[in-house]
Every structure is written in structure tokens, then in C-alpha cells.
């Protein structure tokens, strides 16, 4: 797929799409074989559990609010990095990361991945899924590997 000429309006998603993924609202803004970007509304106290993209680089550009990004869940205790408005979070392929909104307020940001691979299709499949086991299963089919929870 190639990028088409045009504008995706601030309130719109590609083809009118918008998804509820892990309690967050994702609105796709650009899609091609080379890149996929989406706007995210990240309510307070929501998170994306630690996971790895083995075939994609990922990034977040914070518009409003604050997020904690944890790296290294697969190597023991993660390192926590805090991002605020105007910051860009870089998450290289193959590096475990989790994204947490612990700020008490909602956050708004732009996410992106390159190349797109199967992520758009994953969000279509995950829309409204609340069962953690199903989220993990569907994600693995779309090249996103969630890490097991830490041992108690």
C-alpha cells in the first residue's frame, strides 16, 4: 500500500476508523507499507503492558500530559523514563517497553511505527477486546509479543 495524497482531519481517522485498545482511543492518521501513525487518547491509570515489536521501530510524540515508559522488562527490573509535552519517545525494534499513564490526567500523543507490517490489522482485531489472554494471542499473530507478568 502506498500513501495517498490528502489530509486526515484532526477529528477523523483513516476511513473513519477509531479503536478502543486497552482502554485507550486510537485514531489512525497515516498508513503505508513504510509507516503507520495514530493519535492516542490515553486516560489516566491506563497502560500498554510490556511488549516487544520484533519487526518495527516505534515512537511516541507527546502532545499533552505525561507518560512513563519502562524499558527492559525482559532483562529484569525495568528503567523508567518520564515523557511530557513536546517529548519524543524512541522504542527501537526488539526492545521491550511498556507505556503507563500514572499522572492522574489524560494524555494525548501521536504514535508511529516503521515499517507498518501488521499493526493496523492488529488494532482492527483488538478493538474492544478486554480479555488479556485474547489480547496476547491476537498480538502474537500480528508480530507484537507481550511479555509474561512478573513472578510474584
Sequence-distant (6+) residues with CB within 8 A of 31 are 1, 3, 14, 116, 120
Phi then psi for residue 125, to 5 deg, are: -70, -35
Asked, for residue 77, whether it belongs to a domain, the answer is yes
pLDDT at residue 149, as a whole number: 67
User: How many percent of the chain have pLDDT more than 70?
Assistant: 97
Say if 5 falls within a structural domain. Answer: no
The long-range contacts involving 3-7, CB below 8 angstroms and separated by at least 24 positions, are 3/30, 3/31, 3/32, 3/34
The band of 32, judged by pLDDT with boundaries at 50, 70 and 90, is very high
Q: What pLDDT was estimated at residue 150?
A: 60
- Give how many domains the chain has, as a whole number: 1
| CA atoms 52, 59, 17, 3: torsion sign | negative
Question: Model-level pTM greater than 0.95?
Answer: no
Q: Is residue 35 part of a domain?
A: yes
Confirm whether 31 is domain-assigned: yes
Query: Is the Cβ–Cβ distance between 36 and 61 less than 8 Å?
Result: no
112 within some domain: yes
**84 lies in a domain?**
yes
Residue 151 lies in a domain: no
pLDDT in tens, 35-68: 999 999 999 999 999 999 999 999 999 999 999 9
d(CA 44, CA 29): 23
CATH number of the CATH domain containing 119 = 2.60.120.10
**Residue 131: domain span:** 20-140
Amino acid at each position: 500500500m502506498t500513501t495517498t495524497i490528502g489530509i486526515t482531519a484532526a477529528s477523523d481517522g483513516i476511513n473513519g476508523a477509531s479503536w478502543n485498545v486497552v482502554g485507550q482511543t486510537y485514531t489512525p492518521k497515516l498508513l503505508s507499507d513504510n509507516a503507520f501513525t495514530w493519535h492516542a487518547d490515553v486516560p489516566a491509570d491506563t497502560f500498554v503492558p510490556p511488549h516487544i515489536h520484533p519487526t518495527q521501530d516505534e515512537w511516541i510524540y507527546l502532545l499533552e500530559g505525561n507518560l512513563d515508559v519502562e524499558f527492559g522488562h525482559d532483562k529484569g527490573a525495568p528503567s523508567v523514563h518520564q515523557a511530557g509535552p513536546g517529548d519524543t519517545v524512541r522504542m527501537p525494534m526488539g526492545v521491550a517497553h511498556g507505556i503507563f499513564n500514572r499522572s492522574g490526567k489524560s494524555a494525548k500523543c501521536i504514535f508511529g511505527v516503521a515499517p507498518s507490517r501488521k499493526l493496523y490489522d492488529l488494532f482492527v482485531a483488538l478493538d474492544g477486546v478486554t480479555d488479556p489472554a485474547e489480547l496476547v494471542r491476537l498480538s502474537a499473530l500480528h508480530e507484537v509479543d507481550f511479555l509474561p507478568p512478573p513472578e510474584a
